Amino acid sequence: MTGYEVLRVFCGPEGEHGNELGVVRDGAAVPEHADRQRIARELGFSETVFVDDPERGAIDIYTPSVRLPFAGHPCVGAAWLLGVDRLVTAAGAVGVRRADGLTLIEARPEWAPGRTLRQYGSAAEVEALEVPPPGEWIYAWAWQDEAAGTVRARAFPGRGDGIDEDEATGAAALLLTAELGRTLTVTQGRGSQLMTGPRPGGLIEVGGRVLPAPARPTGGAAS
């Protein structure tokens, strides 16, 4: 059985919530993309990371149905776990820094997979939304306090692969930050929290708190 760890990424202020991330530390044990995709599907996390070189920070990211060149919460979680100052993804090199108990990455908005950013009039409207049918990746958001830069958000991947709602989505928060051009504090899902902000050179920073979580038993993230 392929060993893996589980992290909670973008935890709330008291360490609550967060988006679960599967991490296969020994990526070399699973060299084929098809096998990695199968394992990601069997584990069933919104994303699973395979660590190809822990010293270089080289990682490979999968949802249950697709491989991603870049994604936010896998990068934040892997950076925290590996303790590196840089990650290498299929999209490019991702900078890493740590501050005040947060792990933060910086990346280019164009690396983020496409999402529909849909603004609503209030946080209550966002919280009342039902999961839409598959077909479109929707990031629903509203200002909690525009002057303070606080946002309420929910994410609906729409892939039809068992992840109806994503608890915390770094790439979508990165895209929203790029569109608004300002620092944000995003509360997403049940209460996960993401910190974002523009950086020099057209980069966007996104980060949060990371904690370990117990591995979920599976029937066969096998070999």
pLDDT in tens, 191-210: 999 999 999 999 999 999 99
Give whole-number Cα distances, 39 to 33, 57, 78, 101, 218, in Å.
10, 21, 18, 31, 10
Confidence of residue 82 (pLDDT cuts 50, 70, 90): very high
Question: What would the pLDDT profile of 111-163 be if each residue is shown by its tens digit?
Answer: 998 899 999 999 999 999 999 999 999 999 999 999 999 999 999 999 989 99
Nearest to 151 by CA among 111, 129, 128, 119: 119
Question: What would the pLDDT profile of 34-62 be if each residue is shown by its tens digit?
Answer: 999 999 999 999 999 999 999 999 999 99
Q: Is 180 left (phi over 0), alpha (psi -120 to 50) or beta?
A: alpha
The amino acid at residue 137 is: W
Residue 161 to residue 184: CA distance in whole angstroms:
30
pLDDT (0 to 100) of residue 89: 98
CB neighbours of 114 closer than 8 A, spacing ≥ 6?
137
Mean pLDDT, to the nearest integer, of 171-178?
Answer: 97
CB 70 within 8 A of CB 61: yes
Annotate 104-161 with DSSP letters as a single string: EEEE-GGGSPP-EEEE-S-HHHHHTPPPPPTTS-EEEEEEEETTTTEEEEEEE--SSS
Given a cut of 50, whether residue 215 has pLDDT beyond it is yes
Residue 12 to residue 38: CA distance in whole angstroms:
31
DSSP assignment letter at 90: S
Token code pair at residue 136: 């479109």
Given a cut of 80, whether residue 222 has pLDDT beyond it is no
pTM of structure: 0.94
pLDDT (0 to 100) of residue 216: 58
pLDDT (0 to 100) of residue 219: 44
Given a cut of 60, whether residue 10 has pLDDT beyond it is yes
All structural domains of the chain: 5-103 (3.10.310.10), 111-208 (3.10.310.10)
